Structure 1
Amino acid sequence: QSDTDGLSLVPTLLGKGTQKKHDSLYWEFFEGGGKRAIIQGPWKLILFNTNKTLTPKAELFNIDQDLAEKNNLAAKHPDKVTTLTKLMNDSRTPSVHPNFKLKSERK
Structure 2
Amino acid sequence: MFGEAVSWVVAQLAAAGISAAADPADLNTPGVWVLPDTSTASTLDDQLHEVTILLYLIVGSLPATDALAALDGLLAGVRAAIRVRSVQAVTVALPNHNPAGLPAYRATINLDIKE
- TM-score under structure 1 length normalisation: 0.32
Specify which structure has the higher proportion of strand.
Answer: 2
Specify which structure has the higher proportion of helix.
Answer: 2
Q: Which is higher, the Rg of structure 1 or of structure 2?
A: 1
- TM-score under structure 2 length normalisation: 0.30
- Report which structure shows greater RCO (CA 8 Å, sep ≥6): 2
